[in-house]
């Protein structure tokens, strides 16, 4: 009997190993989808989609409470927020869209992807889902869009959370800007797998574990989108938005969170924003690069929740919104 059980376990282990090798080597896309599903499930997030104007927008949603809208950065997507969402969904209704031009949302070439236009699209998205007054957060390019949103719709914004936002034009020159200014290849626009893997080392101070199949698939996506990303980067780098000016008289309570070792956008931008925005708080995280919500998800979430606890009490309540479309498999 024990011998039969042992043989059965050996067969089961063998099948699991074979399945793992298949997913890891022969079907990395399937491995990525499974990994994403597990991480989304741990955070209590499900995927949805909605038609907003000319764009079909995919987004993650989960949790209960006031709505917290999370906007990803350049070349990224909604899954940049799944690690931090596990610490946020117990207290907030988290919404993380693929911005137009990114992820699996519509991404036509030749349209306007500048921050003010994207902020208008985000506002249309908020209205379509009937989210009401929202907390809005953004990293990098998403931070510029979140800031433009708060500047344009202050009465519809509960609070603003800027995680190393772009568009702080008076900030010191970053390593990225210095590279581009010296005529070197832009690391944010990889055209090979090796360039994409180098980009990860450039973005993170301590690169989090990313399974090899996921790295491979992400590299493939970045290489495929290179022409579109090149166009979008040109648009946002020539944009005239300056957050330190746009938010100079903003009544919106604002948390500024920045990694001290950020190589893409100089950490000096944090103090510039903190001095410019009337109701703001600045948090600098040591040993952290450009994406604190990935590199330090728990600490970043705790900083946001602590900031919220110190805000004046609110008597208004956000409406309970319904998903616009069925959850995607």
* Catalytic center residues: 72, 140
How far is Cα 86 from Cα 300, in angstroms, rounded to an integer?
Answer: 12
Cβ(162)–Cβ(254) under 8 Å?
Answer: yes
Cβ(145)–Cβ(122) under 8 Å?
Answer: yes
Query: Which pairing describes strands 93-97 and 134-140: parallel, antiparallel, or unpaired?
Result: unpaired
Instruction: Name the β-bridge partners of 282.
Output: 256
Burial 254-268 (b: 16+ CB within 10 A, else e): bbbbbbebbbbbbbe
Helix/strand/coil percentages in the chain, nearest 5:
45, 15, 40
DSSP-derived secondary structure letter, 282: E
**Which residue intervals of 153-225 are DSSP H helices?**
175-181, 193-203, 212-224
How far is Cα 115 from Cα 112, in angstroms, rounded to an integer?
Answer: 9
Q: How far is CA 288 from the centre of its chain?
A: 16
Nearest to 123 by CA among 87, 150, 144: 150
């Amino acid at each position: 009997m024990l011998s039969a059980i042992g043989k059965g376990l050996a067969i089961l282990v063998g099948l699991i190993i074979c399945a793992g090798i298949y997913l890891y080597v022969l079907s990395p896309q399937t491995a990525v989808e499974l990994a994403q599903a597990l991480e989304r499930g741990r955070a209590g997030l499900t995927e949805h989609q909605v038609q907003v104007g000319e764009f079909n927008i995919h987004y993650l949603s989960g949790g209960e409470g006031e709505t917290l809208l999370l906007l990803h950065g350049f070349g990224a997507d909604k899954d940049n927020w799944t690690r931090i969402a596990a610490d946020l969904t117990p207290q907030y209704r988290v919404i993380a869209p693929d911005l137009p031009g990114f992820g699996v949302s519509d991404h036509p070439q030749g349209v306007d992807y500048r921050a003010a236009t994207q902020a208008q699209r985000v506002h249309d998205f908020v209205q379509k889902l009937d989210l009401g007054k929202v907390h809005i957060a953004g990293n990098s390019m998403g931070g510029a869009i979140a800031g433009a949103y708060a500047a344009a719709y202050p009465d519809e914004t509960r609070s603003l959370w800027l995680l190393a936002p772009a568009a702080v034009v008076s900030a010191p020159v970053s390593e990225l800007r210095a590279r581009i200014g010296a005529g070197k290849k832009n690391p944010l626009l990889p055209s090979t797998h090796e360039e994409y893997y180098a980009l990860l080392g450039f973005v993170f101070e301590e690169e989090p574990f990313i399974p090899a199949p996921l790295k491979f698939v992400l590299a493939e996506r970045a290489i495929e989108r290179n022409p579109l990303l090149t166009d979008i980067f040109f648009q946002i780098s020539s944009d005239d938005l300056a957050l330190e000016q746009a938010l100079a008289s903003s009544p919106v309570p604002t948390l500024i969170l920045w990694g001290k070792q950020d190589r893409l956008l100089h950490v000096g931008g944090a103090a510039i924003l903190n001095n410019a925005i009337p109701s703001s708080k600045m948090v600098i995280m040591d040993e952290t690069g450009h994406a604190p919500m990935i590199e330090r998800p728990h600490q970043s979430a705790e900083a946001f929740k602590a900031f919220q606890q110190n805000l004046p009490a609110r008597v208004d309540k956000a409406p309970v919104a319904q998903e616009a479309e069925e959850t995607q498999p």
